[in-house]
């Protein structure tokens, strides 16, 4: 895709996200290697970041990064998330167009239904078309969206695209579809909605950050907390946590 946009003369910024190991806290960020040939192209900026345990499947600094890249003037910003999972739903609030990529024939359909990903897709892409039988998946996807219970007027119909990344087959059509979706957003005023939801997500993220930071600091400073953990006769964690929370934040128990 980067190649396609560069051919059009557009500048591209990429945020490639990979998971942080929950055991070691370290991470192996291996997305960049596939885009290596652009490392010396001034019109491309690639940033690899770990999820850092952020439950959204995206890094907590993703929004900030998008803003900075936008301010730096990149025409296109691509965010590549960790993979198929419930967490990916968060990303939909941060970007204009969400593309869900599936590989036909490997049971992705079931996984994807389970994850709730289908609802956030603006475009479906079935990759590696000539390797596996993608027609089953294509059929299922096309049928699924026609029975969606969203009955807003001027609904966007997520197209199903078939691509073959190794031969760049279909990539041109994909970038076209993305442009079409952008036009749709503009025409229907959805663009403004997008900004609102993004603002809300960002705000929540930042507030949550603050709260967590504050809580962790308080726990660190609280002399009783450590004693509590070492103590042998503790009540159940639920009531303990509730008591602690009320105490730390000075909230009167009104229940």
Q: Which positions lie near another protein, rule CB under 8 A? A: 21, 24-30, 32-34, 36-37, 39-40, 45-48, 50, 52, 131, 164, 166-168
**Shortest CB 213 distance to another protein, Å:** 8
Neighbours of 117 (CB within 10 A): 22
**Given the complex with another protein, which of 40 and 154 has the nearer CB atom?**
40
103 or 180: whose CB is closer to another protein? 103
Report, in Å, the least distance between residue 5 CB and another protein.
17
- 169 φ/ψ angles, rounded to the nearest 5 degrees: -70, 130
Min CB(143)–another protein separation in Å: 28
How would you class 207 by CB atoms within 10 Å of its CB: exposed for 0-12, middle for 13-18, buried for 19 or more?
Answer: exposed
Q: Decide whether 52 or 202 has the Cβ nearer to another protein.
A: 52
Contact partners, residue 20, CB within 8 Å, separation at least 6? 26, 27, 50, 51, 52, 53
Nearer to another protein, 47 or 190 (CB): 47
Compare residues 5 and 122 and give the one whose CB is closer to another protein: 5
Asked whether 99 and 135 are in contact (CB, 8 A), the reply is: no
**Quick check: 29 and 35 in contact, CB under 8 A?**
no
Whole-number minimum distance, CB 127 to another protein, in Å?
12
> Do the beta carbons of residue 92 and residue 120 sit within 8 Å?
yes
User: CB-based burial of residue 84 (10 Å sphere; 0-12 exposed, 13-18 middle, 19+ buried)?
Assistant: middle
- Which residue in 60, 35, 44, 51 sits closest to 7, CA to CA? 44
**What is the nearest approach in angstroms of another protein to the Cβ of residue 90?**
19
Q: Closest approach of Cβ 24 to another protein, in Å? A: 5
List own/partner pairs for 176-180 with CB under 8 A and 24 or more apart: 177/123, 178/97, 178/99, 178/123
* Min CB(221)–another protein separation in Å: 17
Nearer to another protein, 4 or 27 (CB): 27
Nearer to another protein, 40 or 233 (CB): 40
CA distance 162 to 233: 61
CA distance 145 to 186: 22
């Amino acid at each position: 895709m980067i190649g396609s946009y560069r051919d059009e003369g557009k500048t591209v910024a990429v945020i490639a996200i990979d998971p942080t190991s929950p055991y070691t806290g370290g991470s192996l960020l291996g997305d960049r290697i596939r885009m290596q040939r652009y490392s010396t192209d001034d019109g491309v900026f690639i940033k690899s970041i770990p999820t850092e345990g952020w439950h959204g499947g995206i890094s907590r600094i993703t929004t900030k990064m998008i803003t900075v890249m936008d301010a730096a003037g990149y025409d296109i910003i691509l965010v590549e998330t960790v993979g198929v999972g419930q967490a990916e739903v968060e990303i939909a609030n941060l970007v204009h167009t969400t593309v869900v990529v599936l590989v036909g024939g490997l049971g992705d359909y079931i996984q994807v239904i389970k994850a709730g990903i289908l609802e956030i897709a603006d475009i479906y892409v079935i990759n590696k078309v000539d390797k596996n039988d993608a027609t089953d998946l294509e059929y299922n996807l096309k049928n699924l969206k026609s029975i969606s219970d969203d009955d807003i007027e001027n609904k966007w119909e997520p197209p199903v695209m078939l691509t073959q990344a190794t031969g760049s087959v279909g990539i041109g059509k994909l970038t076209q579809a993305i442009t079409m979706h952008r036009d749709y957003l503009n025409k229907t005023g959805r663009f403004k909605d997008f900004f609102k939801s993004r603002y809300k997500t960002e705000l929540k993220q930042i507030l949550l950050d603050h709260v967590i930071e504050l809580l962790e600091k308080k726990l660190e400073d609280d002399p009783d907390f450590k004693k509590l953990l070492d103590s042998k006769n503790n009540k159940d964690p639920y009531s303990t946590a509730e008591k602690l929370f009320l105490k730390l934040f000075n909230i009167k128990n009104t229940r």
